[in-house]
Amino acid sequence: MWAEGFLTALQPLNLLYLVAGTAFGMLIGALPGLGPLFGVALMLPLTFGMPAATAIIFLTAVHAATAYGDSFASIMINAPGGVGSVASCWDGHPMAQKGQAGVAMGISTFGSFIGGVAGWISLVALSPLLIWVAVHMGPPEYFMVAVMALSLLALASEGQLLKGLALGGIGLLLSFVGRDPITAESRFTLGWDYLEDGLPLAAVVLGLFALSQAIVLAQQEGSISQLRRTGNVWEGFVKVLALPATIARASAVGIFMGVLPALGLSSANVVAYFVEKRAAKDPENFGRGDPRGLLAPEIAKNACIVGDLIPTFTLGIPGSSVTAIFLAAMIMHGLQPGAEFFSRSGALPYTVFAGILFAQVSFFVMGLLFARQFAKAVLIPNAILVPIIVALSFIASLALRGMLEDVLVTFVFGILGYIMSVYRYPAACLVLGLVLGDLVEANFHRSLLIGRGSYTIFFTRPFSLLLLLLTILMLLWPYRKTLLGRGQSPAGAVP
Amino acid sequence: MERGKVDLGAALLPLVTAGFAAALLFFSRENNPTAALFPRVVGVATLAFVLLDLIINRTGIRHAAPPEGRASGGRLPAWGIPLALQAVYLALIYVIGFSLATFVFLLLCPLVLGYRRPAVVAAHAVLFTAVLVFTFQSVFHIRLPKGLIGFPW
């Protein structure tokens, strides 16, 4: 079956669409704010006339390449290519500023490839186990996962714990704007219909990072890389190979976040970044162009998007909006997701799986060809680059929902992001709160509904209790020596 | 403790943060208990964090001068020019539509920021606007705002 699947995926028509999907995905990804959801949704109608396997392979190529291409804008101009590559800005862009744009592109290209392959291996080999875990996770467990992710706020605050917690709170409060996830009651919309669906994450992120960066760049003469050099892409490959622990950690985070429905791309990269920072012996180097700070989110992002496909193919449960489109594509082409997909479709599942692997190879090869050219963006004079960043940010905000109000949101958050960058407020905390708010609140209330109002539901379910204990352990870890009476707490530990 | 002029910029963010949290707390009284629970808990916690931060780090908002420089001799601070340009661009999109506004913005912004090669700026403005509008309008089928004047592209 596997050989047949690989041979079918290697047919010229499939390869042609694989390359076309990759090229298109990289183009979409390179535009700030436009991520995999935009790319895959845009391409879905084009698959009507294609054979089923070709259609899924094409969409997979678009999906993988868009996620990879998202990092271009993050690294070069500090404007997140999509919500899945916010964390790539934090160390990727400082590398570009230090004249290592090519190295950063190398790390991104190789890291994304490794993440994609790790996700693919999990899809092929670990599906049954991961699905078992996923089906045993209910609202209390999701709540605990979100709380665990929120515990990273302390780390995201970069030594300014109170400011970080306050900004995390603001992020959470912003995520509460719109309809309540349980009662559907409107909250904090001030009667404005636009806010009924909540604040658009992509527009907020574009403002916080891209527009604020445009204001910063406008005040500087010259170009992003004052050193007028970009470094070598291959150097990035070497750096990746020297970080096996980062690869393992980020792959695990990406796959885990991908498999669990609702924990998707937007949180995987941010969580992987902070998990890596927590594991580092020198966390103070993060945010200053540390290769680990770029590699971790890159791997997690691409592992997540493949991991995301596991529940979609095996259970027929889309883990995110993008995989919901995949589900639609499968049904549109007469495929039944779930167990029947494997039992009644012959070699087709294996063709699709082979296509997913080839999609990773395809963007990797194209990335190798073009990474160096993209890296040269850091040499463009700031006076020319600034209006490009602003125009791309505005059009990306517009493109997502076609609403001018989204551009206004981007503009307002641009001002906020700039003030935060000037006064060294950790904007990452706000993003973390905004990304996790809905997950925390909805699953808390769902848990209480299941537990008939009793809070014991969080402690009586084994997975939930395990996650709670892990969170407590993570919070106490920096103080272990003090608690055990063997020394001082670490200097960098928060009060 | 350092005593100096209060830096309005440094004071602004805690005020905005606290004000936003307080406003949401106030508006949460209109919601049912389920919908109001998390906003209230998070709102109170956020206010507490801001107040604690202000108490502990109150010297942080007192500086002899703001951390970012002002434009030398200019009326606007250095950050004011790009911010004003963005605001004008947004207003122009609303009035004359995305295509024309983008062209005008790409034409003016580099010159205002001190780039002194008008031919390059003009060519860049025309080409970039054309590529952007064509890509989003014809390839991605995104409806771009035509503005109050109803500009055809």
User: What's the pLDDT at B152?
Assistant: 64
Q: How far is CA A488 from CA A108, A154, A155, A477, in A?
A: 38, 19, 19, 13
More confident residue, B136 or B91: B91
Q: Which residues pair with A122 in a beta bridge?
A: none
Mean local confidence (pLDDT), A234-248: 91
Q: Which residues pair with A178 in a beta bridge?
A: A187
More confident residue, A192 or A480: A192
Rounded CA gap, A24 and A50, in Å? 17
Q: Return the SS3 of B62.
A: strand
Q: What does residue A187 show for φ and ψ, rounded to 5 degrees?
A: -130, 135
With beta carbons under 8 A apart, name residues in chain A contacting B140.
42, 399
Q: How far is CA B123 from CA A223, A260, A391, B112, in A?
A: 20, 49, 16, 16
Q: Return the SS3 of A80.
A: coil
Question: Do residues A32 and A202 lie in contact, with contact meaning Cβ atoms separated by under 8 Å?
Answer: no
Global confidence as pTM = 0.77
A45 touches chain B (CB under 8 A): no
More confident residue, A326 or B99: B99
Residue with tokens 């993003």: A431
Q: Is the pLDDT of residue A9 over 50?
A: yes
pLDDT digits (tens, 9 = 90+) for A84-120: 888 888 899 899 888 888 899 999 999 999 999 998 8
Closest CA in chain A for residue B48: A166
User: What's the pLDDT at B110?
Assistant: 92
Rounded CA gap, A266 and A86, in Å? 8
Question: Do residues A131 and A401 lie in contact, with contact meaning Cβ atoms separated by under 8 Å?
Answer: no
With beta carbons under 8 A apart, name residues in chain B contacting A389.
none
Mean local confidence (pLDDT), A163-192: 89
Q: Is the pLDDT of residue A276 over 70?
A: yes
Among B38, B39, B109, beta carbon nearest to A386: B109
Mean local confidence (pLDDT), A21-25: 89
pLDDT digits (tens, 9 = 90+) for A450-464: 988 888 898 889 888
Rounded CA gap, A187 and A253, in Å? 33
Q: Return the SS3 of A186.
A: strand
Q: Give the mean pLDDT of chain A.
A: 83
Q: Residue A490 — very low, low, confident or very high, per pLDDT cuts 50/70/90? A: very low
User: What's the pLDDT at A245?
Assistant: 93
Two tokens at A187? 């909250």
Please work out, in degrees rounded to the nearest 5, the angle formed at the alpha carbon of residue A150 by the alpha carbons of A146 and A153.
165
Q: Residue B95 — very low, low, confident or very high, per pLDDT cuts 50/70/90? A: very high
| Length of chain B (residues) | 153
Rounded CA gap, B136 and B148, in Å? 20
Among A191, A137, A113, smallest CA distance to A356 is for A113
Residue with tokens 């209480």: A448
Among A42, A170, A173, beta carbon nearest to B140: A42
User: What's the pLDDT at B104?
Assistant: 95
pLDDT digits (tens, 9 = 90+) for B39-70: 999 999 999 988 888 888 765 555 444 444 44
Q: Looking only at Cα atoms, what is the longest distance across chain A? A: 69
Rounded CA gap, B127 and B132, in Å? 8
With beta carbons under 8 A apart, name residues in chain B contacting A214.
82, 86
Closest CA in chain A for residue B19: A170
Q: Residue A227 — very low, low, confident or very high, per pLDDT cuts 50/70/90? A: low
With beta carbons under 8 A apart, name residues in chain B contacting A180.
31, 34-35
Among B112, B80, B99, smallest CA distance to B144 is for B99
More confident residue, A426 or A110: A110
Two tokens at B125? 């403005």
More confident residue, A475 or B109: B109
Rounded CA gap, B13 and B18, in Å? 8
Rounded CA gap, A49 and A333, in Å? 9
| Least confident residue range of A60-74, A138-152, A305-319, B112-126 | A305-319
User: What's the pLDDT at A263?
Assistant: 64
Looking at A179-308, list the stretches that DSSP marks H as alpha helix, in order from N- to C-terminal side. 201-205, 212-218, 233-241, 244-259, 265-279, 291-307
Mean local confidence (pLDDT), A298-316: 82
